[in-house]
Structure 1
Amino acid sequence: MSQTITVECVSPGLDHAAIDTVVTLPTFRRPEHLLLTLASLSAQRGAPRFAVIVMENDAEGRAGLDAARPLFEAGEIGGLVLVAQERGNCSAYNAGWTTALERFPAMRNLLVIDDDEVAAQDWIARMIATADDLPADIVGGPQVARFEAGARTRYENHPVFTPHYRTTGSVPILFSSGNVLIRRNVLETMGAPFLDTAFNFIGGGDADFYSRCRERGFRFGWCAEAPVFETVPSRRTEFSWLNARGLRNGAISAIIERRRGGRHGAPKRIAKSLGLLAASPWRSLRLGLGTGSATIGLYHCQVAIGRLMAEFGRVNEQYRQAERN
């Protein structure tokens, strides 16, 4: 890893060699919600002995570190808090995953939850059970939206707020890292840096990682019974945010396909983008009629336009200004 990682505190008496499962939790300027996330981890039932790694990604402000430190130093939560000096969500994930491999030699399962989410009480146990039962190397779960006061809840059926899959079982691929379990052998095989930091501020580093994992033959699964509940601020239900997210999702899909296909895949990729653009009005009409919302219906058009914009290098860095995301 090229970035600087500093471990700021470790819970007393932590037996690194006895930990089977590690939960990694990136945080950036959400100290109040971080405490809610940590409380949900402390309340887990039926889970094996696990450790938590909090990755503070605000090297200057360190509000997350300040909020979490007392819990770890008092031993209320087992694990550690580190500072990932390089800004960006991919850099934060890379710091936590690398540290988990280095510090916990017996770790078999690595889970991820974000600092705007709260885990169900049996989240860890159900994710591990699904990975064992399927079996699967990488398991995802639903991120259930919980809208803050003032949010436009009529958009709750928008594709950006609904899970990609409905039922537990094997799936072809995953798209998000906000609720996921990854086996240790996946990380060891893929090697650090796991997420490409070129995606730090546009998102999609997780989708790119999964695409590369699929190429290496790893198996994916879904656990519908292991939700995390994501707090959705009102600004994420404004048209400007939904439009930007749709364009961004389209751009990410084109970028990942370009990386997998190389120069020779350009004609096929562009033809696909044009085909999606041609079909998008009808797909949008169907989605709009099905949800009763023209705003929701626009999503397919936005994704198609975002794909074409990416071909000309126009990609929205939606995570660059966290306060606007």
Structure 2
Amino acid sequence: MSQAITVECASPGLIDAEIVTVVTLPTFRRPEHLLLTLDSLRAQCRAPGVAVIVMENDAEGRAGLQAARPLFEAGTLEGLILVAHERGNCSAYNAGWTTALERFANLRQILVIDDDEIAAEDWVARLIEAADTLGADIVGGPQVPRFEAGAEPIYEKHPVFTPHYKATGEVPILYSSGNVLVRRHVLEAMGAPFLDTAFNFIGGGDADFYSRCKERGFRFGWCAEAPVFETVPARRTEFSWLNARGLRNGAISAIIERRRSRGRRGAARRIAKSLALLAVSPWRSLKLGLGTGSATIGLYHCQVAIGRLLAEFGRVNEQYRQAERN
């Protein structure tokens, strides 16, 4: 990896050879919620062989680093804090995963949680148990929304907030990195940089990574009993945000398909698929709107279809470029 990574803080007495599980936690300008996330990890990450790596992705402000440093320096949490100097969520993930692989020789798996989430009290153990039981290489779990004041509860039914699967078991693929376990051998096989930094500000680097993992034959699983609880600001229930997210999701799907099917024939198939999705999207949106009782939610399928076509002309919304608006 070419990006600069600086380890700023490590807990005293950290014995690298004893660590077999690392929870990686990227953070960007959410110091208050970062502390809530770390508090939810405190008890379960005191188990033998478990460490936490916080990846500060604001190399200038470093609010997360300053907030979390006392917990690690006092040994309240075992692990380390690093600064991923290259801005972007994919760069932050890459920095944490690379550091974990290089530092902990006996590492077996990496878990991921975001700095706007709270882990269930047995989250770490549940994901590991599911991976062992299912024989899966990558295991995801639900991100359950917890809406802040001012948000409409009906948006719990919106596709951007609902888990992709309901029951524990093998699944064809995953889509989000906000609640996931990845075995070490997967990362070693895929090689760094694991997430393509072209997705740094549009999102979708995780979906692209999973798509490539599936091509390599890795198996996916789902653990319904290992939720994290995502704090959702009222801003994310406004039409402008939901519309941007729907368009972005469509664009990401087109971009990933374009990378797997190059050439004129691949482009023709991809555009034909996008046009077909656009043609049926009004009926799918009508069904979704009637089922949820919300016209705003119902528009999602139309937004995804339009987003796919816009991406063919280079129109992709960088929703993560301005974090304060996200």
Give your verdict on TM over 0.5: yes
Unaligned runs of 5+ in 2: none
Residues 174-214 of structure 1, C-alpha deviation per residue, up to 9 Å, x if partnerless? 00000000000000000000000000000000000000000
Question: Between the two proteins, what is the percent identity of the paired residues?
Answer: 83
Cα pair 2:46 2:78 within 8 Å, conserved: no
Displacement after TM superposition at 1:49 (Å): 2.5
2:26 is aligned to 26
Alignment of 1:164-203 (within 5 A): 164-203=164-203
Alignment of 1:1-325 (within 5 A): 1-44=1-44, 48-263=48-263, 264-325=265-326
Unaligned runs of 5+ in 1: none
Distance change >3 Å, CA 110–CA 213, structure 1 → 2: same
Residues 217-261 of structure 1, C-alpha deviation per residue, up to 9 Å, x if partnerless? 000000000000000000000000000000000000000000011
Cα pair 2:45 2:52 within 8 Å, conserved: no
Cα pair 2:88 2:200 within 8 Å, conserved: yes
Distance 1:63 1:267 in 2: 47
Normalising by structure 1, what TM-score? Answer: 0.99
After superposition, the CA RMSD in angstroms is 0.9
Residues 141-178 of structure 1, C-alpha deviation per residue, up to 9 Å, x if partnerless? 00000000111222110000000000000000000000
Displacement after TM superposition at 1:47 (Å): 5.3
Would you say how many aligned residue pairs link Structure 1 and Structure 2?
Answer: 325
Distance 2:172 2:118 in 1: 26
Distance 1:3 1:45 in 2: 28
Displacement after TM superposition at 1:99 (Å): 0.2
Counterpart AA for 1:236: R
**Corresponding residue SS for 1:161:** coil
Counterpart AA for 2:122: D
Structure 1 runs of 4+ aligned residues shifted over 3 Å read 45-48
Displacement after TM superposition at 1:48 (Å): 4.9
Cα pair 2:45 2:77 within 8 Å, conserved: no
Counterpart AA for 1:225: E
Distance 1:45 1:260 in 2: 38
